[in-house]
Chains A and B, each alone.
Chain A
Amino acid sequence: MPITIIAPKPAQQRYAAPQDSPDASDSEEGDDLSEGGADLEGDISMGHRPAKKARTDGKYEIVTPGEVITDDPQWMRGHGTYVSPAATSIISSVAGTVTRTNKLLSVRPLRARYTPEVGDLVVGRIVEVQAKRWRVDVGSTQLASLPLSAINLPGGILRRRTDTDELQIRTFFAEGDLLVAEVQQLYQDGGAVLHTRSLKYGKLRNGIFVAVSGMGGGGGVVRSRRQVWTLDAANGGGQIDIVLGVNGYVWISKHVEPVLAEDQKTTPTTAGPITNAPTTTGITNLEESVSATMYSSQNDRIEVETMREIARLRGVITALVENGLRVDEDMVMKGYHEAVEMALTYGEGGQDDVYLGGERGEQLAAVLRGR
């Protein structure tokens, strides 16, 4: 069936003018119309009506922009709030749920762009190369920057940065390249500075990218215990790495063991003019050989089975997001196992069983919600 057409959702309930509020339509109803023009009395009373609403079922209630959260001066305002210049009351500036940390009140929006925080693991894409730094799209309100000084240079951590490196900046990362990095610090204006000074970070290859909504609210990737893990895929898919960037960018790739210096000579990828890698072992050498593949944009050989499982994982993550579920290790793993089981019921269809769009996605989400 090449085309799936879903019927639109039934129309939403309509909103008539509110009858409970003391608006003109009620209070002035019986009045002589010649007085209608001077409706100012009503207006003034409206102006003094407190913005605070009666919260009947506070359990699921949210605050909306302009709503007074508290008049109590003991609280401090956090994100998503502001203090009116005249009074001390803390007012919400977004629609969302209230959180508090000690005396700090903030509002978590229902949905927003990713807001970087120091220590976040993010997946980003280089969009601009400048003289001594890269500009990286991390799905935030601003581009993040990655200074040349914040990356591991090939040939060992302790190597000095030279002018040559500056000239060859594109050989490390060029426009379009994907990387995994950590937020090192934040500028005053909220811009993030990244670093890749760890063997866990660096350029991404051997896999596929998917962008979902990130840590801002409204589903998507959430901050959790582990953002990066390796799983043993079903159906002979081998090992697969998943990187859930806190910013909602996800990378799913084949797991590759770091190539050691000894092996390097024999691997076909390095066959060619450069086989002069040092054969001595040692800690510096290990780093050297790991860093050897650090800026490679050549994929290793990937088996069909691995590709299929990677596609399935991508389907799981997309289905989670489309159905408003959070994305973390737990949910992805559960979803994946469920998807593998579900695939069995689709019969020996072969290719088709990887597909998780439309109804299948909803089915999957329903199962996960049920748990």
Chain B
Amino acid sequence: MSSQHVLLSPAELSYLHASLSLQPLPLRPDGRSPTQFRPLVAETGILPGTNGSARICFADGTEAIVGVKAEVERTVQPFTQDTQTTQDEGETPAEDERRKEEVGGSDWVEMTVEIPGYRDDDPTTVFLGQMLQEALLADGEFTKRLRINGRFHWKIYLDILLISPPLSYPLPLLSLTTHLALLSARLPRLKSEGDEDPLFDDDWAASTYVYPRDNNKKDGKDGNNKVVARPPVTLLVMAVGNNIIFDPAREELAVADVALAVSVGEETTTTTTQTGGDDDVDMEEGSTPGKRRLRLLSVRTIDPPSRLTPPGVPNATNTAYTAPTGTAEAKTQDGARTLETERVEGVWKAPRGGAKVMVMAALVAKVLEKGGVADEVLDGLEAVDLG
């Protein structure tokens, strides 16, 4: 998937590439540090008609709104006798079904992405939606929360709207907004017990958060209550040379050697063992209690638009450079050879070939670093007042 078409001149691309690959630290066009995000305005609870909602605006004017709606849905009964969620640990055929029932199916969440100017079956839109959904479902933590009882569950509809035209690759924006909307999402309190038809408390004030807060501080007014578990967040990371850059703007992405969408979740402190999918890599060894344990949920490569950019023409081969009319022919041929072989300083050349494994590993490690970007982003989002 090509993330976006950008129209930049070879001279600009060359300049950007040069400044972003500076050692030891890249120089970004807007002066941000490599790990710095664009400043953003965030608010939650903007739509009273939803279970949870959030809105984020970046300083460059891109804006997204996410709304969460929940509906009670009858769980499709697995074809098994044992529907009781007992704690037996036998490896029976029913085990899989039982787990599915506990963890929930991927069809419990429906996600739609709307981008102005794009159809909803456009590859860009579908890919974005898939990426966000995949991160949410990867560890089964989310759907586990949607279980009401053995027969019913909540079905969550996530509608993600990009309001502004897509000025930069909207993935980080959409992911952060979705994260906030899920954080602020609340479900009515269950009054019924066991497997009977669910009955809910009408009082919205008594509703519970999908991602419950720390119970140490009962008073919701405190504003300081800590959320124990958090929805995943997908970060866009790119590399130019050996530099790793977070939240790239459009023109930065245009010169990326490699771009990755890295989804990070937080392991709940209560659970002990996780039977993760293939993607799961636990980066942290021996975490201290109370500290956040980050886990990698998924990694996707984004095709950076840099590969589609036309190369710059070095002066040596530029017929318009000095054009004594007679020699133009000969020069072009000479030039064609130079173009293939060597890299001229100050001339843009689109990156060729795949990304280095080392770079990819460094990108992922950088995201999951203790006290690193993902950590701080999660902290930052936590501080947003949940209306």
A residues apposed to B, CB below 8 Å: 1-9, 125, 127, 153-155, 164, 168, 171-172, 174-178, 203-210, 269-274, 276-277, 288, 292-302, 304, 307-308, 311-312, 314-315, 318, 322, 350-352, 354-359
Complex A-B: 28 CB contacts under 8 Å: A2-B376, A2-B377, A3-B376, A4-B37, A6-B40, A7-B41, A125-B7, A168-B320, A171-B320, A203-B11, A205-B11, A209-B12, A269-B315, A274-B322, A276-B324, A293-B321, A294-B320, A296-B318, A298-B11, A298-B346, A299-B11, A299-B18, A311-B29, A312-B31, A314-B30, A315-B31, A357-B31, A359-B39
Q: Which residues of A contact B9 (CB under 8 A)?
A: 125, 176-178, 203-205, 297
- Chain B contacts with A in 1-57, Cβ cutoff 8 A: 7-12, 14-16, 18-19, 22, 25, 27-33, 35-43, 55
Q: Give Cα A204 to B9, complex, Å.
A: 9
Asked if A358 and B59 sit within 8 Å, CB to CB, the answer is yes
Residues on the A chain within 8 Å of B310, using CB: 174-176
Q: In the complex, what residues of A have CB within 8 A of residue B384's CB?
A: 5
Query: How far apart sit A300 and B346, CA to CA, in the bound complex (Å)?
Result: 6
Which single member of B22, B29, B30, B383 contacts A5 (CB below 8 Å)?
Answer: B383
Chain A residues within an 8 Å CB radius of B323: 153-155
Secondary structure class of chain B's binding surface, majority of residues: loop
From known contacts A293-B321, A299-B18, A314-B30, infer whether A270 and B11 are also in contact, taking CB-CB under 8 Å.
no
Q: Does B381 contact A (CB under 8 A)?
A: yes
Closest residue of B by beta carbon distance from A204: B11
Q: Once the chains bind, are A295 and B321 in contact (CB under 8 Å)? A: yes
Residues of B within 8 A of A350 (CB): 25
Cβ A352 vs Cβ B33 within 8 A = yes
Distance from A175 Cβ to chain B, minimum over Cβ atoms (Å):
7
Using a CB–CB cutoff of 8 Å, the interface residues on chain B facing chain A are 7-12, 14-16, 18-19, 22, 25, 27-33, 35-43, 55, 59, 246, 309-310, 312-316, 318-325, 327-328, 330-331, 334, 338, 344-348, 373, 376-377, 380-381, 383-385
Which residues from chain A contact B59 at a C-beta distance below 8 Å? Answer: 322, 357-358
Are A354 and B383 in contact, with the CB atoms below 8 A?
A: no
Q: How far is the CA of A351 from the CA of B32 in the complex (A)?
A: 8
The one of B27, B30, B377 in contact with A304, judged by C-beta atoms closer than 8 angstroms, is: B27
Q: Do residues B33 and A355 form an inter-chain contact, with CB atoms below 8 A?
A: yes
CB distance from B370 to the nearest CB of A (A): 14
Residues of A within 8 A of B40 (CB): 3-6
Q: Nearest Cβ in chain B — how far from A319, in angstroms?
A: 10
In the bound assembly, the distance between CA atoms of A6 and B58 in angstroms comes to 10
Give the chain B neighbours of A210 by CB distance below 8 A. 29
Residue B27 contacts which of A203, A276, A297, A307 (CB distance < 8 angstroms)?
A307
Selected from A176, A277, A301, A359, the residue in CB contact (under 8 A) with B322 is: A277
> Is A127 touching B7 in the complex (CB atoms < 8 A)?
yes
Contact B7 A208 (CB under 8 A): no
Q: Among the listed A3, A204, A359, which residue makes an inter-chain contact with B380, where contact means beta carbons less than 8 Å apart?
A: A3
Q: Nearest chain-A residue to B387 (Cβ)? A: A8
B321 touches A355 (CB 8 A): no
Count chain A CB atoms within 10 A of each CB in B15, B19, B28, B313 and give the residue with the most. B15
Question: Is the beta-carbon distance between B29 and A208 smaller than 8 angstroms?
Answer: yes
Residue of A nearest to B312 (CB): A297
Contacts of B25 in A (CB 8 A): 350-351
Contact in complex: B7, A298 (CB < 8 Å):
no
- Is the beta-carbon distance between A273 and B32 smaller than 8 angstroms? no
User: Which of A6, A205, A274 meets B327, CB within 8 Å?
Assistant: A274
For A293, the chain B residues whose CB sits under 8 A away are 315, 321
Expressed in whole angstroms, the minimum distance between the Cβ of B18 and any Cβ of chain A is 7
A150 to chain B, nearest CB (A): 16
A269-B328 Cα distance, complex, nearest whole Å: 18
Partner of B30, one of A207, A302, A318: A318
Determine if A273 and B331 form an interchain contact, defined as CB atoms under 8 angstroms apart.
yes
| Complex alpha-carbon distance, A312 and B123, angstroms | 37
- Closest A residue to B378 using CB positions: A3
Q: Contacts A272-B316, A357-B59: A315 and B30 contacting too (C-beta < 8 A)?
A: yes
Most chain B C-beta atoms within 10 Å of own C-beta, residue among A178, A351, A354, A356: A351
Distance of B224 from chain A, by nearest CB (Å): 16
For the complex formed, measure the closest distance between the CB of A333 and the CB atoms of chain B, giving whole angstroms.
18
CB distance from A220 to the nearest CB of B (A): 14
Residues from chain A with Cβ under 8 Å of B41 in the complex: 5-9
Give the distance to chain B from A308, nearest Cβ to Cβ, in Å.
6
- Inter-chain pairs besides A7-B43, A276-B324, A295-B320, 4 sampled, C-beta below 8 Å: A154-B320, A176-B10, A177-B9, A351-B25
Whether A357 lies near B38 (C-beta < 8 A) is: yes
Chain B nearest CB from A345 CB (Å) reads 15
**Contact, CB under 8 Å: B344 / A2:** no
Contact call A176/B7, Cβ cutoff below 8 A = yes
B30/A311 in contact, CB under 8 A: yes
**Minimum CB–CB distance for A297 against chain B, Å:** 4
Q: Is B320 in contact with A172, judged by CB distance below 8 angstroms?
A: yes
The 4 closest A-B pairs by CB, nearest first: A354-B31, A205-B11, A358-B39, A299-B346
Q: A228 to chain B: closest CB distance in Å?
A: 18
| A3–B346 touching, CB < 8 Å | no
Chain B residues near A300 (CB-CB < 8 A): 346
**Residue of A9, A171, A203, A296 touching B315 (CB-CB under 8 A):** A296
Tell me, rounded to whole Å, the shortest Cβ–Cβ distance linking B275 to chain A.
32
**CB of B344, distance to nearest CB on chain A (Å):** 7
CB-CB under 8 A from B330, the residues of chain A are 273
Query: With A and B bound together, what is the CA distance between A124 and B28 in angstroms?
Result: 23
Alpha-carbon separation in the docked complex, A155 to B338 (Å): 24
Cα–Cα, bound, A288→B316 (Å): 17
Q: How distant is the Cα of A3 from the Cα of B180 in the complex, in angstroms? A: 14
- Interfacial chain B residues near A171, Cβ < 8 Å: 313, 318-320
Interface pair A356/B312, CB less than 8 Å apart: no
> What CA separation (Å) do A276 and B320 show in the bound complex?
15
Q: In the assembly, what is the distance between CA of A175 and CA of B310, in Å?
A: 9
A4-B12 contact given A208-B29, A298-B312, CB 8 Å threshold: no
With known contacts A6-B39, A155-B325, A270-B315, A357–B30 Cβ distance under 8 A: yes
| Closest chain A CB from B333 CB (angstroms) | 10
Q: Which residue of A lies closest to B338 (CB)?
A: A272
Contact of B321 among A3, A4, A292, A304 (CB under 8 A): A292
Q: Of the candidates A9, A178, A304, A356, which one forms a contact with B31 in the assembled complex, judged by CB atoms under 8 Å apart?
A: A356
Minimum C-beta distance from A206 to chain B (A): 7
- The reply to whether A208 and B331 contact each other, CB–CB distance below 8 Å, is no
Question: Given A207-B15, A208-B16 in contact, is the A1-B36 Cβ separation under 8 Å?
Answer: yes
User: Which residue of the partner chain B has the closest CB to A311?
Assistant: B31
B10 touching A297, Cβ below 8 Å: yes
